[in-house]
Amino acid sequence: MKLTFLGTGAGLPSKTRNVSAIALDLLQEQGSIWLFDCGEATQHQILRTNIKPRKIEKIFITHLHGDHIYGLPGLLSSRSFQAGLTPVTLYGPKGIQAFIEISLQISQTNLTYPIEFVELEEEMTLDFNSFTVQVKQLDHGIHSFGFIINEKDQLGELRVEKLRGIGIEPGPIYQQIKQNPHTTLPNGQQIQRADFIGPNKPGRKLSILGDTRYLENLDRFIENSDLLVHEATFKGSDEELAYQYFHSTSVQAANLAKRAKVKQLVLTHISARYQGKELETIVNEARTIFQNTVIASDFSEIAISKD
C-alpha cells in the first residue's frame, strides 16, 4: 500500500509541480491501482514512474475544477492503446459522467473497455472486498469530497505451537485451517479456527481530502488515520486568503492532524506563489504543531503501514 504523488500544485502547473493527481498502489492487496484526481498531463507524469495505466481500475475525483479533471480524457483514451482491457470505475460528483462522455464523443474516441460511473453523495460508503471507502462532503464552493480508505482487519497468525501441541505439524493443512472456520483433519477430528489463531491484525487507514476550507469537525472522520493527505494551498499567515478562496493553510492542516491523532501528515496542493525558502516555512510552521509532517513533491512515494 503506497502513495505516489503525480501532481502536487494548486490551480495551474508550474515548472516544479504539476496539478493534482495521486496514485494508490494496491497491487499486492487488490491487484490494481486507484487514482485520486487526474489533473492535466497526469499521463505524462505517469511516464516517469513504474505505474502501468492498464492497472488503474478505480478513479476517485474529489471535485470538478479543471486542475483535478482535465487529464482524464487523455488518460482514459491512452489506456486503450496500452493493453487496458479491464473495466474502469469512475467515482465523482454529479457532472463527471457528462464531462467524460462529451469529451470522448466529440473527439470520436472509442475505448477498448467499459467505464462505470458512480455519482458521489454525502456520507456514502463504498465496499471493495478487503477495503471500504467513506465519502465526506467538504467546503470548497462547489461539491468537493474527502475519501477515507479503510483496510478491513486481517486474520491473525496461526498459533503454530498450539497446533503442534495437538500433533498437527506444519504443511498444507495450516493454510486450510486458516482459510476455513472449521477443518476436518485426516483422522476425522474437527477443529475450530478460532481456537488456533491470534488476534486480528488491524487494517490501515488512509485519509485523502480534496480542496476545502478548514473544517474542525473533520477530526472525527479522519481520527487515527495512519496517513492524512491534506491540502496546504496557503501558508499560515495567509489564512484570510485561504478562506476567501475556499482553501486551507498548512497551520490549519496541522491543527486538524493533531486533534485527529493521525500518525503522519502530508501537505500537498501547494500554491505556485511559494518557492524556495517559503516552502520550508510552510512545512516548518506545520511541524511546530504536528511534528510528523512532510510536504509532498511530484513523484514523492510514501508507504502506508501500521508500524
Report yes or no: 67 and 40 within 8 Å, Cβ to Cβ: yes
Mean pLDDT, all residues of the chain: 95
Residue 241 has pLDDT above 80, yes or no: yes
User: How does pLDDT run across 206-232, given as a tens digit for each residue?
Assistant: 999 999 999 999 999 999 999 999 999
CB burial of residue 240 (10 Å; 0-12, 13-18, 19+): exposed
Mean pLDDT of 56-76: 98
Pairing, β 131-137 against β 145-151: antiparallel
CB atoms inside a 10 Å sphere around CB 188:
6
User: Is it the case that residue 307 has pLDDT exceeding 70?
Assistant: no
Residue 76 has pLDDT above 70, yes or no: yes
Residue 70 C-alpha cell reads as: 482535465
Closest C-alpha to 232, from 15, 4, 20: 20
Mean pLDDT of 67-79: 98
Q: What are phi and psi of 8, to 5 degrees?
A: -130, 10
Q: Which CATH superfamily does the domain covering 2-154+200-303 fall into?
A: Ribonuclease Z/Hydroxyacylglutathione hydrolase-like (3.60.15.10)
- Which residues make up the CATH 3.60.15.10 domain(s) of the chain? 2-154+200-303
Q: Is 67 a catalytic residue?
A: yes
pLDDT at 27: 95
- Counting residues of the chain whose pLDDT is more than 70, the rounded percentage is 100
Among residues 25, 37, 67, 298, the one annotated as catalytic is: 67
Instruction: Look at residue 195 in the predicted model and tell me its pLDDT.
Output: 86
71 has pLDDT over 70: yes
Which residues lie closer than 8 Å to 19 by C-beta, 6 or more apart? 7, 9, 10, 11, 12, 13, 39, 40, 41, 67, 68, 70, 71
Above 70 in pLDDT, residue 43? Answer: yes
Give the pLDDT score at 184: 86
